[in-house]
Amino acid sequence: MNNLRIAEAFDLIADLLEFQGANPFRVRAYRNGARTVRDYPEQMTSIVADPSRKLTDIDGVGKDLADKIVTLCAGEPLAMLEELKAQVPRSVLTLLRIPGLGPKKAAVLFNELKVSTLDELKAACETQTVRKLKGFGAKTEETILAGISLAATADVRMMWADADKFVQSICEWMARCPEVDQIEAAGSYRRGRDTIGDLDFLVVSTQPEKVMDHFAAFPNGTTLLGRGPTKISIRLGDGLQVDLRVVPAESYGAALQYFTGSKDHNIVVRGLAKDRGLKINEYGVYRVEGKAETFVAGGTEAEVYATLGLPWFPPELREARREFDWAAAGSLPELVELGDLRGDLHMHTTATDGKATLEEMVAAAQNRGLEYVAITDHSKRVTMARGLDADRLRAQWREIDKLNKRLKDFRVLKGIEVDILEKGGLDLDDDVLSEADWVVASVHYGQNQPREQITERVLGALRNPYVSAIAHPTGRLINRRAAYEVDLQAVMQAAREHRKLLELNANPRRLDLDDVSCLAAKSLGVPIVISSDAHSTVGLDVLRYGVLQARRGGLTKADVANSLPLDEFLLLTARGL
């Protein structure tokens, strides 16, 4: 039982309680509990297993939540959750995804019409049955019917890298509008979340009507969802919803802070404001004296935070995890930037499943300003990629030796991505691995094995003296494959013990480690290497996504091993011991 599954259980309790119309404070307690557990940098199972520690020492975890966490960690069902699930069919929760259909109306549909699925609700709307219910009417019925198709895809989130393409296109389109003085994307996109549900834009302008007219004409099969005096919502041809708000310059910073979020970050900000006799909203910061409100600040985010004695927070940190603690201690991290990276330590060539030759990959890395790379083609276990056996690998290394003699101010490390075998152990013998400059070990097969077995396989690799790092440590593929069951806490502790590194795979489909795990590694002092896992020359460009993920984990240049010059980098690896 990992933190994600515990959080999912608490979220489900909150969903079910909300549907039943339970006390909002009770619902919020489970929502907050889910967020606390999901974002905590250490596994709950580790805390439960330590008799000297208490779950209630975690901010936001009271006795009730702690007892439930203990139960879940023991692999036992939660009596409360099972009881709620028996009372409300799980399919009913899909009704809550319909825009504008809250828990109360969803409960009426379920209790009076026995509607429990989107298909059943659609049929009830088409036969005009819904409008006959008290508090609904024809307009509500039409709104529900229009929102059903949106609810069916409400759980589908777009990768940040894909959302970024839309952001750039929209910004380019809006730049053609002379009435736009300033524009920026906010929301989860600006915070760099690995997946995006929708997009939010803020525009500074004195002529909102002209700005919104131009926005509505965005050439991508757009559908107008709604429009007001200063806000417009459209849906792009692929289903992505985009909201745009026009604000005056004096409120721009306050609006950007508010709509960037996260909600949990903003709750803390508003609480701190209240303690100081202030009020913060999307329009600005106001001094509250009785019924009188005096505008204090709002033009920039820095001004807004300064009224609370806070520094400007990089958007990636605004998740109410550690940022306020860091600020209070005067130790807000200076986050890593793409330009800090000096090397790329995971890439493939035509020797296995890459699309470019050794020389082409090296030239591409040089053109991007890197100082060193490691060539890490697959080992022989990955047969579909024509993985390398010992003879072919050594032949490739001889080619690398020849290439290094011709290169100036650049070094190619002789590497390998060696498979961690299903039965344990590595795909190549130690006599081969001992000749490498850099060895990344990875799990590609047997990903459905039990948690203990996969964990032991990875721990065994970390104990090997010739392994330098673990590649894509959880094996997740965003929106396609969940992380395999592995005790990441144990993996991190072993990495620290054996002085090994963990990879943050920058491929936007992986971004593995995730942001919470990056923060956990940072807390343990485990160095991270941000690698592209490139299979082509253009694949090197994904490093920017890895850096964004690292920033969300609070990583600085000092936390990222491949920000070091080569000689210092090698001292951190098995090659330098």
* Residues 355-375 pLDDT 10s: 999 999 999 999 999 999 999
- Mean of pLDDT over the chain: 92
Q: Is 564 in contact with 490 (CB distance < 8 Å)?
A: no
Return the pLDDT at 221.
67
Q: How many other CB atoms sit within 10 Å of the CB of residue 290?
A: 5
503 pLDDT band, cuts 50/70/90, is: very high
Q: Determine the average pLDDT of the residues in 61-66.
A: 93
Which secondary structure element, helix H or strand E, spans residue 185, and what is its range? strand 182-185
Question: Tokens at residue 540, please?
Answer: 């090197």
Most confident option among 76-80, 128-132, 280-284: 280-284
* CATH number belonging to the domain at 338-576, selected among 3.20.20.140, 3.20.20.80, 3.30.930.10, 1.10.510.10: 3.20.20.140
Backbone angles phi, psi at 31, to 5 degrees: -60, -45
Q: How many other CB atoms sit within 10 Å of the CB of residue 249?
A: 14
Residue 576 has pLDDT above 70, yes or no: no
Fold of the domain built from segment(s) 261-329: Beta Polymerase; domain 3 (3.30.210)
152 pLDDT band, cuts 50/70/90, is: low
* Angle at CA of residue 540, ends 539 and 543, nearest 5°: 110
For tokens 């290439």, the residue is 403
Which secondary structure element, helix H or strand E, spans residue 438, and what is its range? strand 438-442
Residue 228 has pLDDT above 90, yes or no: yes
Return the pLDDT at 21.
82
Task: List own/partner pairs for 396-405 with CB under 8 A and 24 or more apart.
Answer: 396/349, 396/351, 396/358, 397/435, 397/436, 399/358, 400/358, 400/375, 403/358, 403/359, 403/362
Of 159, 186, 158, which Cα lies nearest the Cα of 170?
Answer: 186
- With a pLDDT cut of 90, the percent of the chain lying above it is 74
Q: How far apart are CA 503 and CA 492, in angstroms?
A: 11
Return the pLDDT at 574.
56
For tokens 């910004």, the residue is 171
CATH superfamily of the domain spanning 158-247: Beta Polymerase, domain 2 (3.30.460.10)
Return the pLDDT at 400.
98
The pLDDT tens digits of the residues spanning 404-430 come to: 999 999 999 999 999 999 999 999 999
Residue 463 has pLDDT above 70, yes or no: yes
Return the pLDDT at 157.
81
Return the pLDDT at 479.
79
Burial class (CB in 10 A: 0-12, 13-18, 19+), 178: exposed
Count, residues in the chain: 577
3-class secondary-structure state, position 254: helix
Residue 1 has pLDDT above 80, yes or no: no
Residue 67 corresponds to which amino acid? D
Return the pLDDT at 150.
63
Domain boundaries, the chain: 3-152, 158-247, 261-329, 338-576
Span of 148-162, 322-336, 493-507 with lowest mean pLDDT: 148-162
Q: How far apart are CA 440 and CA 335, in angstroms?
A: 25
Residues facing 534 on adjacent strands: 347
CA end-to-end distance (rounded Å), the chain: 36
Q: How far apart are CA 452 and CA 410, in angstroms?
A: 42
| Strand ranges for 194-317 from DSSP E | 195-196, 199-204, 223-227, 231-235, 241-247, 278-281, 284-289, 292-297
Return the pLDDT at 563.
98
Span of 53-62, 83-92, 111-120, 457-466 with lowest mean pLDDT: 83-92
Return the pLDDT at 451.
93
Q: Determine the average pLDDT of the residues in 11-29.
A: 87
Q: What is the CATH number of domain 3-152?
A: 1.10.150.20
Task: Write the DSSP string, 199-222.
Answer: EEEEEE-S-HHHHHHHHHT-TTT-
The whole-model pTM stands at 0.82
Residue 490 has pLDDT above 70, yes or no: yes
